[in-house]
Every structure is written in structure tokens, then in C-alpha cells.
């Protein structure tokens, strides 16, 4: 092991006589483990499952059944690869089988906010073709992609001219196809957040909307109450009725899902007698282990005719503070007097529920919920599908080589607008630890590599092996808002001798700790009990969850 460490350190050194070549950081492995308080308090028996089914930053789920197979896709905003696609046969155990956005040229995420990019995808299927509709905010507008397999490859986006966000497709029994979306109402909006749901025919040959558009919901369930942000529409047919479900109330604590129905696909649509059909906004915010902000649902029916809903929700560790983003939950749909219901008024989302009446599927190789431990040894030919980059669709700066992950240190800061050398995996627990073994030889002031815990480019911590004016150090940088430098502010530092180090970040709800160790030595605490609330959505804003992973930065201009 000592020989391997020396070789790795030598490989990280810049070439002599070649000028200021940026060093390369080599990560031998990356170890993630997490266990939240609920994981110790709540256990699922053999006939039950645990919520959320997809833990961490997996919002805006859309679901589809083809035969015995279920497919699910989530929003990915400005991360690449994007639009993660999952497969299951029991609705409980999900395996990521691909990313619909997996190559340069499909989308251009350069220099846009991490909370922009891809919103609210919708996955559909007809006659051997999979369809994926979505919105690329600040990078193209509304689009449709196609594939012959849900695993991909998916086509380049086919752009359409409809305004608004959240397009979804509906294929009727008569062969017609329709596209729905959130858009401005007809005429002038009457208040902030006044939106409408539109419908229009869709041509599957040209992948374009055709004909006249029509508003089928204006405002929401009770227009006199000025409902806000009706969005995320999904349309399906049951017992001779067309049912429309949509999110209403914004994405925070007042989030909800509402339902309408009509005898005609183009309306008029009437709201159900009990709406919302899913929400947690009336519950006591001080309840233990709360699940909040639920909505943005989609439905699927099993071959036996049982209906289930996937939807997003959040799990704050206190108040409305959560770091890990909006997650995917699963509950059955009950039908009462011809109307769907996911949660009865005042009912709390359960962490444990009876499994769907489907054959059990083996657990996924990459765990997606509960307490778990995952270690990446970077020994294979490709990265695990859950690793993502910020905005970058070029991948030449990172590679698997000699049993390690090699990342080129480039002069782009985490807090900048360029293509930073950062590779992240979702933080899936509020109580978690991430650890790596790094070989790196910082050659000039500003060179650094290590682990970053990133909510967005303005809110992050970075623990790194770095070089400053005094020599080689272990240091922590913190950025809490756009007023800080793009690299953050150094808040702790210790001298370090050597080019191989182990680094560890520990999160404990509202606090986080930072540790380091020599290649084989004892751990040292560089900082403890630092404020983790700056990584929360409540503090940072936006729609995403925290990512954690290796990064490298070369000194110089951003």
C-alpha cells in the first residue's frame, strides 16, 4: 500500500520543464454512509416498504408502466448526466438504468444557475416508443425526446414553441395524442402566481404541438381564493372519465395535489368535491419526524387494477430546514365515488406502508432508502450512474485510471459560472459521512483538491489538501452567499506534510464536522459543529438538494 501511495503521489506531480501544468488529483475510493434518526425508529417488515422510495434529491417524479415493468424519471436541473431513469417491477425497489441526458450536445447548461435547467419531466409510451417531455429553463424551453428503450439512448430534444413549463403527454384510446402544460392564463394575470393548464393536440410524427391551444384549468380548484402555481399536470382515463391531476400552492409547505375530471379530453373540467387529494399543510409543524411539502404527483395502475401514486416531499431535520432536497414517495390511490384520494384530510404520510400486490424484486445494488453504506472503489470501466457534474457536459477533465478517479485541477471555482472540476453524488441522509483517500501535489498557491459539500454555487463547504503562501495545508472553505469569494472564505487551516491524505466530512442535521488523516494515521478534527443550515433550501433558496463528492481546483483566474 505504501508503494502505491508513493507512485500515486509521483503521478500527481507536474511535468518538469513543461511550464505551469495543472496537477491531477487521484481519489482511490469514495465512501458514503448515512443513518437518520428515523432509520433507527422505523423499520419495515417483509410485507412493507419504507418511504421515501428514492431518498435525497429526486424531485418531480413521473411514472409509467409498460407490461410488468415500471419506469420513473426525476428532475435534474443543471446537473449532468441528467434526467435519471429508474426501473422496477414491484414499485418499491428501484434501479437506475440510465440518464436521458448523457452526452454533450443534447443541452447546453453552461453558466446557468443550478436551480434552472431541467424541470418536471414526464415519461410516456406508445407503440414501441418511449417519450419524455420536459422544460429546460434558461436553456431552450419545452421539449420532447424519444427512445426505443427507457434505458436509452434518448434522442436530442425536439423543441416546441409552447410557453410555460411542465409539459406532459397523453395518448388517448382513439389514437390521438395531446400535450398539456402550465402557462400564463388568457389575458392579464390577476395576481402573482396566477397560472393556467393548457391542452393542445400533439403530432407524434413531427413531435410538435398542432392546432389550437385551450385552457382547461384557470388558476386552480377555487379561483376566488386566488390559488397559485397550478403546474405539473398529468392526464389519464378511467371508467369513461378523463382525470387531470396537478400540483397547486407552490413547492414549500403549502404544496398540494388537486384533481379534476371531464367527459371530454378538452373539458370542461370540474374539481373534485374533496381537494386537495394530497397535502401535509394542515398538520402540526412540531410533530416528530415530519414529512412536509408533498405534491407534484403522478399515478400508475398495476395489471390487477390497483392504483398507486408517486409524489415529492421533504423531511426537515428541524423546522423547515432540510439539506437533502425533495424526495420521491409512494402511496396507494383510493377511489371514492369516482374521485381519487392519496391522503385523507389531516392524515400524515406514513414512513412504512404495506407493499403493492406485486412480486418482490431483489434490492437494488445501489441502495435508495433507509440506512446504508456505499463504497466506490473506481475499479470498473465506468462511473456509477448516480455521479453527476455541475453544468458540465464535457467530461475530459475526469477519468478512471489505474484503479482511481483522476480529476484535472482546472482554474474554475465551485462558486464560479464555468465548468468546475467537481463530481457529486446526492447527499441522501441528514446524518451522513463521506470519506476519500486523495493523492495530490499542489504546485502553486491556490491549487487544491478534496471533498466538497454543495447546496449550490453560493452555499457550500470544501475540505481540501491545498497550497497557500506558507506551504501545503489542509483547509476548509465556506461560501455563504454571493458576497463571498467564488472559492469561499478559508475558515480553518492546518499545515500538512505529504501528498496523500484521507478526508472526511460528517453531517449531523444542523451541524457538520471536518476531519483529516495521513495515509495510514489517526484522524484529526479540523473543525467541529459548523453551521449546516446554510446548506438548507430554506437558507439558500432554489429547488435542489445537496451534493457531496471529490473536486480539484488549479490556482489562477476563474
Cβ pair 486, 459 in contact under 8 A: no
| Cell 384549468 sits on residue | 217
Give the active site residue among 36, 60, 257, 447. 60
Residue carrying the nine cell digits 386566488:
226
Please compute the mean of the pLDDT values over residues 107-126 and round it to a whole number.
Answer: 96
Mean per-residue pLDDT over the chain, rounded: 94
Angle at 132 between CA 129 and CA 133, to 5 degrees: 135
- The 3-state DSSP class for residue 311 equals strand
Mean pLDDT computed over 329-358: 97
Q: What is the pLDDT of residue 11?
A: 43
The total number of residues written for the chain in this structure: 558
pLDDT at 21: 66
The pair phi, psi for residue 85, each rounded to 5°, is: -115, 130
Residue 556: predicted pLDDT: 77
pTM exceeds 0.85 for this model:
yes
Could you report the per-residue pLDDT of 435-448, keeping only the tens digit for each?
999 999 999 999 99
Is 537 strand, coil or helix? helix
Average pLDDT over residues 204-209: 97
Task: Determine the 3-state secondary structure of 170 from DSSP.
Answer: strand
Tell which residue, 536, 506, 504, 507, has the closest CA to residue 517. 504
Instruction: Tell me what the mean pLDDT of segment 329-350 comes to.
Output: 97
- The predicted-structure confidence for 158-192, as pLDDT tens digits, reads as follows 999 899 999 999 999 999 999 999 999 999 999 99
Domains and CATH numbers, the chain: 2-33+371-553 (2.60.120.200), 51-354 (2.115.10.20)
Helix, strand, or coil (residue 40): helix
* CA 196 – CA 192 distance, rounded (Å): 12
Q: Which of 39, 90, 231, 341 is catalytic?
A: 231
Rounded distance between C-alpha atoms, residue 519 and residue 502, angstroms: 6
Rounded to whole angstroms, the Cα distance separating 397 from 419 reads 10
Residue 520 burial (CB count, 10 A) = 11
Q: What is the mean pLDDT of residues 526-550?
A: 98
**CA 382 to CA 384: how far, in whole Å?**
7
User: Is 60 considered catalytic here?
Assistant: yes
Split at pLDDT 50, 70, 90, the class of 558 is low
Check if the beta carbon of residue 407 is closer than 8 Å to that of residue 552. Answer: yes
**Closest CA relative to residue 544, chosen from 246, 289, 325, 304:** 325
Per-residue pLDDT tens for 120-160? 999 999 999 999 999 999 999 999 999 999 999 999 999 99
Amino acid at each position: 500500500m505504501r508503494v502505491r501511495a508513493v507512485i500515486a503521489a509521483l503521478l500527481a506531480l507536474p511535468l518538469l520543464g513543461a511550464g505551469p501544468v495543472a496537477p491531477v488529483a487521484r481519489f482511490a475510493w469514495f465512501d458514503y454512509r448515512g443513518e437518520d434518526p428515523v432509520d433507527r425508529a422505523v423499520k419495515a417488515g417483509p410485507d412493507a416498504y419504507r418511504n421515501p422510495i428514492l431518498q435525497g434529491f429526486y424531485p418531480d417524479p413521473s411514472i409509467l408502466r409498460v407490461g410488468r415493468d415500471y419506469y420513473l424519471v426525476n428532475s435534474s436541473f443543471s446537473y449532468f448526466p441528467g434526467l435519471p431513469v429508474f426501473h422496477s417491477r414491484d414499485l418499491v425497489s428501484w434501479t437506475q438504468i440510465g440518464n436521458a441526458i448523457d452526452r454533450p450536445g443534447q443541452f447546453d447548461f453552461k453558466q446557468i444557475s443550478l436551480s434552472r435547467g431541467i424541470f418536471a419531466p414526464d415519461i410516456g409510451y406508445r407503440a414501441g416508443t418511449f417519450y419524455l417531455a420536459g422544460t429546460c429553463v434558461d436553456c431552450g424551453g419545452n421539449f420532447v425526446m424519444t427512445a426505443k428503450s427507457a434505458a436509452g439512448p434518448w434522442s436530442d430534444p425536439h423543441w416546441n414553441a409552447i410557453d410555460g413549463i411542465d409539459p406532459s403527454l397523453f395518448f388517448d384510446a382513439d389514437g390521438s395524442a395531446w400535450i398539456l402544460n402550465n402557462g400564463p392564463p388568457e389575458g392579464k394575470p390577476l395576481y402573482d402566481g396566477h397560472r393556467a393548464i393548457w391542452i393542445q393536440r400533439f403530432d407524434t410524427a413531427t413531435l410538435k404541438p398542432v392546432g389550437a391551444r385551450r385552457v382547461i384549468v384557470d388558476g386552480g380548484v377555487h379561483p376566488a381564493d386566488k390559488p397559485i402555481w397550478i403546474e405539473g399536470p398529468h392526464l389519464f382515463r378511467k371508467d369513461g372519465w378523463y382525470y387531470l391531476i396537478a400540483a397547486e400552492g407552490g413547492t414549500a409547505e403549502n404544496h398540494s395535489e388537486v384533481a379534476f375530471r371531464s367527459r371530454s379530453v378538452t373539458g370542461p373540467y370540474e374539481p373534485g368535491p374533496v381537494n386537495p387529494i394530497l397535502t401535509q399543510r394542515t398538520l402540526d409543524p412540531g410533530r416528530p419526524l415530519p414529512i412536509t411539502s408533498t405534491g407534484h404527483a403522478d399515478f400508475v395502475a398495476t395489471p390487477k387494477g390497483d392504483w398507486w401514486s408517486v409524489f415529492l416531499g421533504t423531511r426537515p431535520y428541524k423546522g423547515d430546514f432540510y439539506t437533502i432536497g425533495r424526495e420521491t414517495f409512494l402511496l396507494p390511490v383510493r377511489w371514492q365515488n369516482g374521485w381519487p384520494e392519496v391522503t385523507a384530510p389531516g392524515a400524515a404520510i406514513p414512513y412504512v406502508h404495506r407493499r403493492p400486490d406485486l412480486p418482490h424484486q431483489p434490492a437494488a445494488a445501489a441502495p435508495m432508502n433507509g440506512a446504508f453504506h456505499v463504497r466506490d472503489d473506481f475499479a470498473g470501466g465506468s462511473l456509477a450512474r448516480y455521479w453527476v457534474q455541475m453544468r458540465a457536459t464535457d467530461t475530459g477533465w475526469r477519468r478512471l485510471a489505474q484503479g482511481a478517479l483522476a480529476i484535472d485541477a482546472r482554474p474554475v471555482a465551485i462558486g464560479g459560472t464555468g465548468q468546475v472540476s467537481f463530481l457529486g453524488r446526492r447527499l441522501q441522509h441528514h446524518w451522513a459521512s463521506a470519506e476519500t483517500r486523495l493523492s495530490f501535489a499542489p504546485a502553486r498557491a491556490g491549487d487544491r483538491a478534496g471533498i466538497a459539500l454543495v447546496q449550490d454555487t453560493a452555499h457550500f463547504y470544501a475540505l481540501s489538501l491545498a497550497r497557500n503562501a506558507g506551504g501545503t495545508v489542509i483547509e476548509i472553505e465556506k461560501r455563504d452567499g454571493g458576497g463571498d469569494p467564488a472559492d469561499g472564505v478559508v475558515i480553518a487551516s492546518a499545515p500538512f506534510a505529504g501528498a496523500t491524505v484521507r478526508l472526511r466530512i460528517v453531517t449531523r442535521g444542523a451541524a457538520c464536522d471536518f476531519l483529516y488523516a495521513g495515509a495510514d494515521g489517526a484522524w484529526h478534527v479540523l473543525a467541529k459543529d459548523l453551521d449546516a443550515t446554510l446548506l438548507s433550501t430554506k437558507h439558500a433558496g432554489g429547488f435542489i438538494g445537496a451534493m457531496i463528492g471529490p473536486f480539484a481546483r488549479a490556482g489562477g483566474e476563474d
